[in-house]
Amino acid sequence: MEPVRLSSDHLVDVSDLHFNYDGRPVLQGINMKIRRGSVVAIMGGSGCGKTTLLRCIGGQLRPSSGGVSVDGLSIAAASQSALYALRRRMGMLFQFGALFTDLSVFENVAFPLREHTDLSDELIRDLVLMKLESVGLRGARDLMPGALSGGMARRVALARAIALDPMLIMYDEPFTGLDPIALGVIGELIRRLNDALGATSIMVTHDVQESLQIVDYIYFLNGGRVVAEGTPDQIRASDDPFVHQFVHAKSDGPVHFDYPAAPAAEDFRLGAAHG
């Protein structure tokens, strides 16, 4: 028997989550509550556990301790069939899009519909064109991924992520490698599509300024822990040293640029006589 789902204003509940890779702690006591209908950003430096957290929410990884529930269902306690059913209600936009290079734009978006539904080809055609229309690429249906710009490929990946009208959409660095125009377009689409679908979105990103324009709430991770959180206005006004350094891209602060090393005088023998 599957666990009973409890109605809640929060679609995702992360409670005291710990995760280790081969004994090395990556997530250390993460607590998050993601409200239904919201767009939430998870920020932090490279290697702080952001993508690992997404994988725990999606059920690809099981926590070492603590728990994750999505729509009231415990990920750790769910059977394989229940977890697969839950994943069909999730969309994922991978870093750089991760399109199938041997499939056309149309077939990339059609893939989840063919894989998870018994819809007719005619209905799949209409749904694919609707999704491509929503990202401004209906006219690119017959192109191959190699013919797309980076921004176009990311929009095709977004159309694929929303093909099944998911309740939860997760984005892993959706802005990486995009020019300012494409970045703005993707940001606007993430917000608009989330609201149009009545979905909930979780976005792992380094792009502070674009994220502050579109998200409802932000969590900052550092060292596998949530070190700060708040609304965009609260984050902008924060005097927390880590948040201030990250938001304003300062080289000086709690996060050091230099890797720990012996004193320079010792390594370079400064002041020592040379023969």
Domains of the chain (ranges; CATH) run: 10-268 (3.40.50.300)
d(CA 80, CA 73): 12
| Average pLDDT over every residue of 58-77 | 86
Phi/psi at 58 (5° precision)? -80, -10
pLDDT band (50, 70, 90) for residue 2: very low
pLDDT of 15 reads 92
pLDDT tens digits, 228-270? 889 988 888 878 777 777 776 665 556 655 666 777 777 776 6
Average pLDDT over residues 13-31: 87
> At 74, which helix (H) or strand (E)?
strand 73-74
| Residue 97 · residue 149 · CB < 8 Å | no
pLDDT of residue 5 exceeding 70, the answer is no
| Cα–Cα nearest to 226, from 28, 39, 62, 51 | 28
- Reading the block at residue 123, the tokens are 């209905």
pLDDT for the residue 250 = 63
